[in-house]
Structure 1
């Protein structure tokens, strides 16, 4: 048996189709399990990530603006009383997602801001160090 294996000489056709099969198998495994993507898909993923990151940043700033307002506790109570599908409108109407120098609101920022605020039990107390109150 080993002698037959040593004497075996594959044809050029067999070599060609073996290489083609290995290439196809590599491509299939690479795109399905290997995490490969095409340039267009990668660009779309990058665009989506940038939009989500912008919305997350705007939502965090919105939460900060909301909780530092003088009537934050009353607004939080009103927000929690508002139905879930109207909360983004409450945030937008309140102006908490508006930022100086930015004309368009970040898509999804009002929803994220409302979600984060509704998750709060109460408005957190700001911590001011004694050095700031003395000077």
Structure 2
């Protein structure tokens, strides 16, 4: 009876230690994630995808704008925050159905417009 008790204890503790090690390895190096982490990652990726899809529309809005000198004004601004504010105030980052401009799109749009201005 004593031998069976020792055997069961060893088996139990072996299973506990094995489970803990499996979880440590899985979450650290195996790429396992919790549900909340996966949801946060999915939200960030979808926001980035929407932003990248809307940037060309913002750039086209600048090109169609009657005040063509605005790109020159944008390139003269040194601060990236002020560049984003400039794009937001210009209306290029405000889309149909929205009352306010999208800051993430305005920031990416300012970067894209500056790249096109430098390339010219």
Question: Which interval holds the TM-score relative to the shorter structure?
Answer: 0.7 to 0.9
Q: Could you tell me which residue of structure 1 aligns to residue 103 of structure 2?
A: 107
Identify the structure with the greater helix proportion.
2
TM-score by structure 1 length?
Answer: 0.73
- Structure 1 unpaired stretches of 5+: 1-8, 123-135
The 8 Å contact of residues 65 and 96 in structure 1, kept in 2 or not, is answered as: yes
Relative contact order, higher structure (CA 8 A, sep 6+)? 1
**Aligned positions of 1:47-66 closer than 5 A:** 47-66=43-62
TM-score by structure 2 length?
Answer: 0.80
Indicate the SS of the match to 2:94.
Answer: coil
- Structure 2 unpaired stretches of 5+: none
Q: Number of aligned pairs?
A: 113
Structure 1 CA distance for aligned equivalents of residues 102 and 49 of structure 2 = 10
Structure 2 CA distance for aligned equivalents of residues 75 and 57 of structure 1 = 23
Structure 2 CA distance for aligned equivalents of residues 47 and 104 of structure 1 = 21
Q: Which has the larger radius of gyration?
A: 1
Report the Cα offset of residue 71 of structure 1: 4.4
The 8 Å contact of residues 51 and 104 in structure 2, kept in 1 or not, is answered as: yes
